[in-house]
């Protein structure tokens, strides 16, 4: 994978939109791949894939739990690309 872009959109205490760019895939993988005191769970539903050819947008709704305690919920938006990968591309 040559390049990845991730961002989180939320609201501040005054209700203004805030966009936080994630700086690296490595940081994200470290955060989700490191053991935690409580299990992280993110069930998804209402998945919509709109691409019909080699690429297209997708959406889903999610809820995030720390152990059995609800933390937050939202919508994931992502782009899908159908591509032939060669050994060493990932």
Give the pLDDT confidence of 15-74 residue by residue, as tens digits: 999 998 876 788 888 888 889 899 999 999 999 988 777 888 999 999 999 999 999 999
What does the alpha-carbon distance between residue 90 and residue 84 come to, in Å, rounded to a whole number?
11
Residue 23 structure tokens: 């700086």
Band (87; pLDDT cuts 50, 70, 90): low
Q: Is the dihedral of CA 71, 65, 29, 74 positive or negative?
A: negative
DSSP 34-58: S--SS-EE--EEEEEE---SSEEEE
What does the alpha-carbon distance between residue 9 and residue 82 come to, in Å, rounded to a whole number?
26
């Amino acid at each position: 994978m040559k390049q990845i872009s991730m961002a989180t959109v939320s609201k501040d205490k005054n209700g203004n939109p805030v966009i936080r760019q994630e700086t690296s895939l490595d940081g994200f993988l470290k955060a989700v791949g490191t053991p935690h005191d409580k299990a992280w769970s993110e069930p998804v539903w209402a998945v919509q894939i709109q691409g019909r050819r080699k690429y297209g947008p997708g959406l889903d709704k999610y809820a995030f739990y720390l152990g059995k305690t609800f933390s937050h919920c939202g919508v994931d938006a992502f782009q899908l690309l159908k591509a032939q990968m060669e050994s060493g591309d990932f």
